[in-house]
Structure formats: C-alpha cells, structure tokens
Amino acid sequence: MQTPHLDHAYEDELNVLRDALERTGARAEQMVREAVAALLSRDASLARRVIANERDLDRLENELDRLCVTLLARRSPVGEDLRLVMCALKSDVDMERIGDLASHVAERAIEIASWPESDTLTEVVMLANGAVEQVARAMTALATRDGIAARRVIQDDQDLDRLHKDILRRMIALGKDQPDQLDRTFAWSSISRNLERIADHACNIAEMVVFYAEGQVLRHGADGLD
C-alpha cells in the first residue's frame, strides 16, 4: 500500500501522474480491443475510428511525459516515487507503440473487410484475443501495482510467441503451395506480427510494473534494485 506524503501538494501531483498513466493505458487498451473487434467482425468503419483515435493517444502520451519531467525537475523524487516516474516514462512509450500497432491492425482490417469470413484463420483469432487479454492484464497490474499479476503476463507471453510462429510457418507454406494467395498470406502474416508485438509491449509494461512494485529489474537479466 502506498503511504501518502505529508506534503499534500506533492501527493496531489503524484496522484495526477497516476491518473494520467491510467488514462493513457486505458486508451491504448481501448484501441487494441476495437482494432481486434474490427478485424474479427470485418467492420471497416470501426477500423477507421481506431486509426483516427491514435492522435488522442499521442496527446495523452505527451501530457504524461510533461508530468514526469515536471515532477523530476521540481520534486527530485526518490525511492518509490522515482520508480513511479520511471515506470510512467517507460510505459508510455510502450503504450504509444501499442496504439501504433493497433492502427496497423485496423488498416489491415479495412483491407480484408470484403474477404469471405471463412478466410479468417483460427490461429489469428486466438492470437488476437490473447493480445487483447495481455494488454488488459498488464494495464490492470499497472493500475493496482500488482507485481505478481505482472509476472504472470510476462510468463504467458511465450504462448503467444509460439502461436505467432505457427501462423508464420503456415503462411509460408501456403505461399509456396499457392502463389496466387500471396496477398492473403502477406496480410495475415502482417496482422500476426502486429498482434505479437502488441503482446510484447504489454510484457514490457508488466516488467515496469514489477520494477515499480518490487524494485526488481527484469529487463536484460538485470539484478534487482532496492
């Protein structure tokens, strides 16, 4: 549990930062959910709205950056507070990239909107739903400062990596056997790659949650910090 500061103005600034971090994460999660919904339902109109909403996520990211820089300059935070700021600075980069990748998925959704529904790969549906779940779980862990839940997100990322590789192998084989299906294989491969990268960025956010909650650095095999 976080201990409020006796300096109420400082505590208010930290709360503003936490709220901004949650809003940015919520917008990124919404973009992923809607991009996947547009993809699976062949809804080109929804896909276009996802693309249009990317600007709002960019605005939220810029605001979050500004709050972090202001806190660093004015308050020189240490300990848990510094970990919060570092978590916000690094996570908002991943959130922005999640939004970019969701837009890429939405662009592909527009492309395939007119294709027969039977063309949708079962593995892509599984990967898409898995990516949505990973982002949602990472954002929940961030909002609740739950290092244990964040570690589960990291562990489960391997399953989606394997699923993505299976899709690529299938598309490569299909491209070789049916050269006339190259447009289809390229589109599904691109979608799979973007979904896999979305899950990777959710994993990055989860790693920062562990750092924020526990002071443990997981990236690059680094040792924990107090």
Q: Is residue 216 part of a domain?
A: yes
For residue range 134-180, what is the model confidence (pLDDT) as tens digits? 999 999 999 999 999 999 999 999 999 999 999 999 999 988 888 88
Task: Indicate the burial class of 52 (C-beta count within 10 angstroms; 0-12, 13-18, 19 or more).
Answer: exposed
Q: Is residue 33 part of a domain?
A: yes
Q: Are 172 and 218 in contact (CB under 8 A)?
A: no
pTM, full prediction: 0.91
For residue range 88-118, what is the model confidence (pLDDT) as tens digits? 999 999 999 999 999 999 999 999 988 877 6
Q: Is residue 143 part of a domain?
A: yes
Q: Is residue 226 part of a domain?
A: no
Residue 76: give its domain's CATH number.
1.20.58.220
Alpha carbon distance 21, 11 (integer Å): 15
pLDDT at 174: 85
- Chain centre distance of CA 225: 25
Domain range for residue 44? 8-221
DSSP string, 39-51: HHHT-HHHHHHHH
For range 10-38, the mean pLDDT? 96
Q: Are 22 and 95 in contact (CB under 8 A)?
A: no
Q: Is residue 2 part of a domain?
A: no
Q: Is residue 3 part of a domain?
A: no
Total domains in the fold of the chain:
1
For residue range 28-84, what is the model confidence (pLDDT) as tens digits? 999 999 999 999 999 999 999 999 999 999 999 999 999 999 999 999 999 999 999
Q: Is residue 1 part of a domain?
A: no
More confident residue, 64 or 6: 64
Alpha carbon distance 188, 108 (integer Å): 8
